[in-house]
Structure 1
Amino acid sequence: MLQIAIADDHAMFVDGIESILRNENTIQVVARCFDGNSVFEMLRKYPVDVLLLDINLPDLSGIEVSKRIHEDFPDVKVIALSMYNEESIVSEMLKNGARGYILKNTGHHELIQAIQAVAAGHTYFSKDVTETIMGSLAKKPGTKKSFVLVPKLSNREKQILALIVKEYTTPEIAERLFISLKTVETHRSNLISKLNVRNTAGLVRAAIELQLIDKSVID
């Protein structure tokens, strides 16, 4: 059973999430807190698989909390909760260890899907957030930072990276591009090596920050 904790300073919102998750046989809410500093005490006390983290806590930002969790509790996977659908905030959360980003108007089924996906080692973004990310990737190449050495990607690598950002699974990528699962995994490993990241969340962050995908590839 997945052990879930919630950090949000709005008690009614937390009550609502708990009510939703209470009916799930594979998910258990083990703890809740209402400010950033309490998160670390909570994680020391309870075994937690996934933390639902508000990015606007009263004492510490969700970005700072996520960074410290990533450093001190690396086994805890963070899903950011926010009312803000802004690429810069999404990118900062990913940079600081978050594995998912969902909006607070997310429905019941998407919340469950996000928890299950992140617990399984994948990333997850609300549909609107995914659209924001893809819109950011479609910006002109000139928006790249000139001092960043951008690795050269093949067209196939760009295709696979775009599908990863769109949250396609390995089998779905293989089917869409008419290639084997092993080939997809090889390209994924090469991308992780080229972009000097550790996981899928790192690939998404790099795609955003370095503007690695052309609009023609996204479409």
Structure 2
Amino acid sequence: MIKVLIADDHTMFVDGIESILKLEEGVNVVGRCYDGASVLTFVQKQPTDIVLLDVNLPDMSGIEVCKQLAATKPSVKVLAISMYNEESYVSEILNHGARGYILKNTGREELLKAIKTVQGGATYFSKDVTETIMKGLMNRRKSSSKTSADIPKISRREKEVLKLIAEEFTTQEIADKLFISLKTVESHRANLLAKLNARNSAGLVRISLENNLLS
């Protein structure tokens, strides 16, 4: 059972999300919060797998909430949800530990897919958000003076794992596809995090795209 906390300051929006999730077998809405402080308090007291987190909350930004969750409750995964699709919002919250970013016009099926994907250990972005990330990375690549010598070298197997992470496969699915154990996948992932100086899967995807490591 995936335990989801909904964090948004718009009651009607929270009602709508909760009504969708209540109909889904295997997903349990464990609570709702309307400000960042409540989120930080809730996850310390109640078992929570995923926080469906609005980027803008009345007392603090979703980015700050995400940052504090990463520091105090790293086991809780953050799936950001917002009406904003600006690259600055997306990159900032991903840099602070969010596992995915979807837009508020997301449909029921995509919402459920995003939650299950993130819970499975992969990252998830709405199509429009992916395009925004790519545009931002391309613009930075054009203005970067980074040489090939600066790009970390990864093994063939690490590259295979990295590609599957970028394609939103879970750890179990990666193990099945490559005919290796879960422990081996986690070992490759740990090596990639260290080599690319990333904090999570979202960071791996961002850095690999920025350095053209998936081609």
Q: Give the TM bin, normalised by the shorter chain.
A: 0.7 to 0.9
What residue number does 2:80 align with?
80
CA RMSD of aligned residues (A): 3.0
Look up the equivalent residue of 1:195 and give its one-letter code.
L
Count how many residue pairs are aligned between Structure 1 and Structure 2. Answer: 208
How far residue 201 of structure 1 moved from its aligned partner, in angstroms, is 1.9
How far residue 128 of structure 1 moved from its aligned partner, in angstroms, is 1.2
d(CA) in 1 for partners of 2:128, 2:142:
25
In structure 2, the CA distance between the partners of 1:154 and 1:67, relative to structure 1 (3 Å rule), is: closer
How far residue 161 of structure 1 moved from its aligned partner, in angstroms, is 4.7
Look up the equivalent residue of 1:212 and give its one-letter code.
N
What residue number does 1:93 align with?
93
d(CA) in 1 for partners of 2:19, 2:143:
44
What residue number does 2:198 align with?
197
What residue number does 2:119 align with?
119
CA contact (8 A) 2:193 2:200 kept: yes
| Runs of 5+ unmatched residues, structure 1 | none
Normalised by the length of structure 2, the TM-score is: 0.81
CA contact (8 A) 1:158 1:213 kept: no
Residue 212 of structure 1 pairs with residue 204 of structure 2: no
How far residue 194 of structure 1 moved from its aligned partner, in angstroms, is 1.7
In structure 2, the CA distance between the partners of 1:31 and 1:188, relative to structure 1 (3 Å rule), is: closer
d(CA) in 1 for partners of 2:160, 2:142:
20
CA contact (8 A) 2:97 2:199 kept: no
Normalised by the length of structure 1, the TM-score is: 0.80
| Runs of 5+ unmatched residues, structure 2 | none
How far residue 187 of structure 1 moved from its aligned partner, in angstroms, is 6.5
Identity %: 53
How far residue 212 of structure 1 moved from its aligned partner, in angstroms, is 0.9
Cα shift readout 1:35-90 (whole Å, capped 9, x = no counterpart): 11111122223211100000000110000000001111111111001111122221
How far residue 181 of structure 1 moved from its aligned partner, in angstroms, is 4.7
In structure 2, the CA distance between the partners of 1:198 and 1:141, relative to structure 1 (3 Å rule), is: closer
SS in 1 for 2:99: strand
What residue number does 2:65 align with?
65
